[in-house]
Amino acid sequence: MFEEVSPSRKSFEAGKGSASFQLAVTFYDDQEARAVSVDSAAIIEALRNVYDAAPLADELVGKTGQE
């Protein structure tokens, strides 16, 4: 069952007794303006190390492969 914590935040509880857990979820919508920012260096690192997309990261930072 979802419990409204605030207009954009919901809390969810599942399970019973010692096996229960609680999860808080934040919803972003156009009713309440939110800004989410990520450092561009973090995006490049994620492309290289998480997604194994080094060629794409190189293209985004301007590396041509002929250096």
Joined together, the tokens standing for residue 63 give 């590396």
pLDDT tens digits, 7-45: 555 555 555 555 545 555 666 666 766 667 788 899 999
What's the pTM? 0.45
Joined together, the tokens standing for residue 64 give 């041509």
Joined together, the tokens standing for residue 48 give 């290289």
Joined together, the tokens standing for residue 40 give 């561009």
Angstrom distance (rounded) from CA 58 to CA 65? 8
Tokens 């995006």: give the residue.
Answer: 43
Element (H, E) at 33: none
Element (H, E) at 9: strand 9-14
